[in-house]
Every structure is written in C-alpha cells, then in structure tokens.
Structure 1
C-alpha cells in the first residue's frame, strides 16, 4: 500500500508504511544518519497528513519489520480489545487519547495498542499533547514496594562507583535517601561485568536495606546472564535487569533473546517465593532511541518505532519499571536538547499508552548540545506528565558512566514545586526518621537517621 499527500501544491508519495512512519517522525539526527528522515519540513507535514488517515487495522496487518520479535509481539496482542478501535484512523486515535475520558477506557485498551500504533499516534502530537495525554495514565506495579500511584514522582538512586567500591556505593545511596530519593529503586551500574563484583554489590545493597529497614528494591545492572550467575551463588536479586531493543537483531547484539529473558524472569520469581515480597513484578528494563540503529539492526525503521517496539518487548515480561535512557547514546542519534526533550516525551507517552510503568533517565553526554538547564526543562515536563520515576545521581554527574543526569536535589525540588512526593512506603519511613513532615522534607541531617550517623551505619555494614 502506498500513500501520498500534498503541501502547498507539492505532492509527496510514500512507498510503504515504514517510509511513511519514518518521514512523519519529528527531526532526529539518527533518522537522518540512517537516510530515512523527511527531506524537508514540507515532506514531514505531508507524511503526518497522510499518516493521520491510516487505519489502525492496516498498521497491525502490515508489520514494518519481519522478525521473531514481531511474531512474539503479535502473539501477545489483545486482538479482542483491538477490535474496538481497529477501524479508527491514527488521527482519530489521537483525538480519543486526548479526550479527558480516555483514562477510563485505557486500562482495557492498553494491551490492544501495538508499538507501531503507539508510535504513529505520538508522531501527530505536540509536546504539550504528549504531556496532557500521558498525565492521567497511571500504571501501578509492586515488588517490595508500590510504584505509580497518583501524586508520586519516584526516583531511582543511582550510586555508581568507578571501582564498584561497596562503601562508596552505600554512602552515595544514603545521601540520596536523605533527600527522599530511592523509593523506586537503588540501582547500580557496575564498572565491571563480573559475577564476583555483581554478587558483592548485591549483598552490600541487601545488607544496607535490611540494616535500615528500607522500603525499596535493589538491582545491579549487569548483563542478565551475570545476574543469574550471581543468583545461583546465593546473591539476593530483587529486580532482574536488562537493556532491550525492538528488533531480534538488535537484541542479539546485546547478547539476549526473548527465551533468555523469560528464563531469567522465572528464576527471579522462584527466588522471591516465600521471602515476603509484596508483589510479583520482578523485572527492570532500559531502552533508548537509537539503540537499534547504533547496532545497525533497525531494518530501515525510524528511532521512535524501534523504541516503541523495545518497550513492547519489555511489556512481554510484566516489568516493575521501564526506563528510557533518553540522551545517553549521543548526538549521532539525538543531536541537541530539543531532540532529547522531544524523545523523552515521546518515549514516556508511548510506554504509558501501552500500559507500562515508564520512567526516564533525563540525561545527555558531554559532547551533545544540551546542558543542565535543558535537563531541568525536561524534568519538569515529565513530572507534569505523570512520569513514574526519574534518576537521582550525585550532583547530576555520574562518575562511572561519565554523563550528566538529574540529581537528588533536582528530584526533591521538582517534587516541591509540583506538589509531588515519594512513594508512600518511603514517605512512612522518612516520617519515622524525622525527615518528612506535613508533606515535605524537613531535615537532611544524619542525626535523624534510624540507627545513627552514616559513618557508623556504613562501618557496621562493611565490617
């Protein structure tokens, strides 16, 4: 099937759905690098105009990528619910999603939204549309604690250390807790992907959580096979992590396939049984626009569609959290603050529309045209959009990964400005510690911590 549309007397033709979707995408340096972007603003407008008239049933019937990932996603598709909306056009779905009553129907329809449908809808939306449409969509998940409730902006404490030193990691995590961060997760990116290092950090985090009776989850973001090996050695795994992509070839470049992820999830569930976990969400996934293209595994498909497919892969494994690391890959894929901001809002909306507990690492590498002001802008936009969680990195500067993100102070400030709070379990812990009163942080001194000052706590934990 081909499509065409005219703008100011100039007619543009699109040979197939893949081309139409790519050229309707907002400007991204990665799509330009791949040679699939619109050649002009007029062509982009024409593609959006044509895309608005495409029926959702035609999108599902015409997969843009033919691989085993597509087969798995279609096998999991809620075709009964999709029958309710199959005759709508993309433009009509956009209007439906933006209607104030959509949130009432959305829980029934989320499983019917394929990644291509979600991405197509986002391509017709402004930044404000993406904020407004995502805001009422709440995805509530539970592991040790619960995330996604109304009025909550969660935070993953990211206490990375360039040598995986457990004391340094715990000190950084404690710093975040004093500012109300860590309700979503304490998650460490290891400097080395060794089983010994992964297990040591997992044991250290577990002892830290137990010593302070912290209501949170922990994770070491090593390769899934490394985490499973650590689990076999007796290391405690709250959440099993893996970066995922939207094509079979891209996931192969990560050293994974869907069968491995399913096996890992079952192992994590089995390790939780009988240990008092509140819920059965045991996976944590990270995605990001450009990952498939950087692996030369995008199959001619644009970055947003590939990102939506990566999120749909995560959806197959009932995740506790999904995180778009929006500006981490570099300027070859998102050139500047404007493109990063757009991608962050797209990723959050698309994930929420598909029923995912979406968070975002609002970040940029040091060689991209962005800065902390643009990070602040996106933080406030995503928090207003109901983002499930963001990152808390000491001073916004990750000393191991060498990129810029959002700090503990940034998260605390965004919550205060927008009237948001940490998850309820951490609020209760902070209240008991004397750190939260009347809906706000009241004290960041170490003396209020249960168990004493940080130095003594850390000495006991690492003795």
Structure 2
C-alpha cells in the first residue's frame, strides 16, 4: 500500500487489523500498533479493500485452536454470507451508513457476518459513523420485563458497598429507585465471592422487589460458579452473570469455558426465578485478553468484537462494556475511552446484542467526570440500551468513577427518553414520575423507609 509517496508492506491480515485501529495504548503495549498516523491510514486503506471473504479465509485465530473462534464460525448464516462475501469492508461501511439501510436490512445482514468482519468495519468508521449506524438498531430483550425499545434509556442500579453490608446496599438501592434507575437490573458487585454472601444479597434484592412491587430483575455479579452454587441452594436469581474474554485462553483466566457456560445456561433456565427467555448478563471491556497474556497478537478492538460473538450464543438480556475500568495501560485518556465506548456499543449492536455501557474511568487515567458526561450524551444519541448508575458516580467498592443515578435521569430528560414502560408505570404509581418527567419527590430515598 503506497500512501504519500511511501510504500507500506503488511505481512498479514492480523497486522493490518491491528494497525488500522484508532490509537490505543493497549495495542502499543502489545507492540502491534501503527507507528504513526500515516501508517495507520495506510492500514485502513488496505483494510478497506479487503473483502469479507478475505477476512473469513484468513482467520486470526483458527477455530480448531480456539473455542471462541469455533462458536463464532458456527453461528454464521452461510446463505447470507454467500450473498455478501465479495463485498469489500468499504462497501460494508457504505451500506450500513446509507439512509435507505434500515433495521430489517441490518438484522438480516448481521447473521452473515463474523465478529472479525464487524470489527473491521468499525475501524473504518468515524465516531459519528459509529453513532449513526448503531442508532438504527433496536434490540429488545425480556427477562421479567422488556427493555430496549426505541425512546427508552434504561439504567442498571449498582448499589455496591465496600463490605457487602445489606443495609448499606439497600440504602443505595433506594436512592437509585428514587431517581427512576433500576429498570435494566438491580445488579450488585459483591466484595465477598462466597455462596452465603451472594445468596443473602439476592434474597434482599428480591424482597425489595416484592415489597414495593418493582418491575425489574435482580442479579449478583459474582463468579458464575458461585452464583450456580447459590441458585442450587435456593437463592432467587433472575439473571446469571459472567465476564467474557475474546479468546479461549482469556476465558480460562476468568475461570470459565464454553461447557461451563452451557451448564450455567441450563441451570438458570431450570432454577432461575425469571421466565425469560433472556436470562444472561455479560460484561466485557477492551484489554482483558492482554492483561491475561491471552491476546495472540490480535488487537483489542477485534478481541472485544469476539466477546460479542461468544455472548450472542446465549441470547443475553444485558451486555455491557466496562469501557474505562482497566486503566491507562489499555485506554490512555479521555479520547481513547470515548472512542472505545462508541466502538464497543456499535459492535455489540451489530451482533444484535442488548448493549449497555459502563461509562467509567479509573483515577490514574487522563480523564475526568466531564469526559464521562460527554460519552454518556454520545451514547444516548447512538441509542444505547442502558447505562450504569452508582451513588454520586463514585463506586466505593470497585474504586472507579462511573455515572450517577441523577446523571442517567438528566440524559433521559435531555433527549426525551423514558424508562422501560412497565417501570415507568410503577414510577407514576409511586409518584416519582409524571408525563415522562421526574416529580419533586425524585431523589428522596426516604420514600422507601
């Protein structure tokens, strides 16, 4: 590829995919990033000319070596792929952004794309492209209730506590509910990953749901095996949770594999407390494979797309990228975090997943709360299914900065978005919302005490 009088030679598709990425400190740490902006543009130009067949015929991680690759390959609709196999990545981008291409066309097209193809087209898109394409896609899912409708922005209530104190968790939960947050899920990250602790938190959240007749779902984000033990002991879990990586080796570092996920899927369908059909909650985030030395020389955007390829096998109720949680080693500053959030949301939606984003950063990253405000607004424009709400935007247990309950309420008000319909009706009955807007009672957790 010749650009500005200089010829660039790329030895493999893996190299092109990595160097076509927007600048990411994680790719630089892995030694696979473009050396400068000109080489990046040359790689993008080379990638734009590649066909979908080129992507499939040169697997970055062959299915016979990696179960995530196999799961992705097995899901491909051969008929649809056959119709588009000769499209270039540039043609795929143009098709997605064409005004005449709507949701039905994208839904059908998605079934003929692998995760690597979706990652490739993301690399050719500007931030505005990522927003425009993702905004076309509506993904509805149902656990106890349905979320994801156009015009709806849901919120996960994340009432974490540094010692898993039940009363402390409940206090934060009441504040979340008072701002209209919690329609996506009441989801607690436990400090203590034990069966007894998980069971007690699940019991408490379910009791709150029953006491106040709240139309939502509950989940405790412990390791999947801990949740499985708690469920077998009678803990009331609507959803089962697990973090995912984009390679088999990365998932091994998380203590999971496909057969374990299959077993958990069977368990939550038999013994969970929700009818479903969508009973999983998955979290992802760029950089986890590099942390585990399980990246196989593949760039972090492509690995993130592969997480979504694995997730869609299980038809989850919720998926979200925890976009800035790992730190500056992988996403160095506000610009990289915002880009990653928009990439992840687009790629998840292209997999027809119910994508949310934890708009967050760690305190040693070059970012601040204003950057999170910016990203939350961009994601709302892109049609994100839900955002994460923590008290005062400061997670006192996980020690990172996210979006607050009132941040999500503000984004709803700004864009004219609503909570999920059943949840909004509950808020109206409780006097917290009227005609789509919060009332003067909003933000007062003592209503529940």
> What does residue range 95-244 of structure 1 map to in structure 2 within 5 Å?
95-102=94-101, 103-244=103-244
* Cα pair 1:131 1:382 within 8 Å, conserved: yes
| Paired residue secondary structure (1:323) | strand
C-alpha offsets along residues 337-396 of structure 1, whole Å, 9 cap, x if unaligned? Answer: 000000000000011011111100000000000000000000000011000101001000
Give the length in aligned residue pairs: 445
CA displacement at 1:183 relative to structure 2: 0.5
C-alpha offsets along residues 174-215 of structure 1, whole Å, 9 cap, x if unaligned? Answer: 111111110101100000111110001001111110111100
Which stretch shows the higher mean deviation, 23-32 or 95-104? 95-104
CA displacement at 1:326 relative to structure 2: 0.3
Q: Distance in 2 between matches of 1:139 and 1:438?
A: 25
TM-score, length basis structure 2: 0.97
Which stretch shows the higher mean deviation, 146-155 or 434-443? 434-443
Unaligned 5+ segments in structure 2 are none
Q: Distance in 2 between matches of 1:352 and 1:188?
A: 25
> What does residue range 384-463 of structure 1 map to in structure 2 within 5 Å?
384-444=381-441, 453-455=447-449
Residue 48 (structure 2) aligned to one of 52, 56, 77: 52
Runs of 4+ with deviation above 6 angstroms: none
* Cα pair 1:113 1:353 within 8 Å, conserved: no
* Cα pair 1:391 1:406 within 8 Å, conserved: yes
C-alpha offsets along residues 391-418 of structure 1, whole Å, 9 cap, x if unaligned? Answer: 0010000000000000011000001011
* Cα pair 1:171 1:454 within 8 Å, conserved: no
Q: Distance in 2 between matches of 1:446 and 1:20?
A: 50
Residue 337 (structure 1) aligned to one of 309, 334, 340: 334
Q: Distance in 1 between matches of 2:198 and 2:126?
A: 42
CA displacement at 1:446 relative to structure 2: 8.1
> What does residue range 287-306 of structure 1 map to in structure 2 within 5 Å?
287-306=284-303
C-alpha offsets along residues 30-85 of structure 1, whole Å, 9 cap, x if unaligned? Answer: 00000000001100000000100100011112110132221121112222222222
Please name the residue that 1:7 is paired with.
Answer: 3
Please name the residue that 2:313 is paired with.
Answer: 316
| Paired residue secondary structure (2:187) | strand
C-alpha offsets along residues 78-136 of structure 1, whole Å, 9 cap, x if unaligned? Answer: 22222222110000000001112322311222222211001100000000110011001
Residue 35 (structure 1) aligned to one of 18, 21, 31: 31
| Paired residue secondary structure (1:316) | helix
| Paired residue secondary structure (2:326) | coil
Unaligned 5+ segments in structure 1 are 456-463
Please name the residue that 2:75 is paired with.
Answer: 76
TM-score, length basis structure 1: 0.94
> What does residue range 350-361 of structure 1 map to in structure 2 within 5 Å?
350-361=347-358
C-alpha offsets along residues 1-46 of structure 1, whole Å, 9 cap, x if unaligned? Answer: xxxx111100111111100000000000000000000001100000
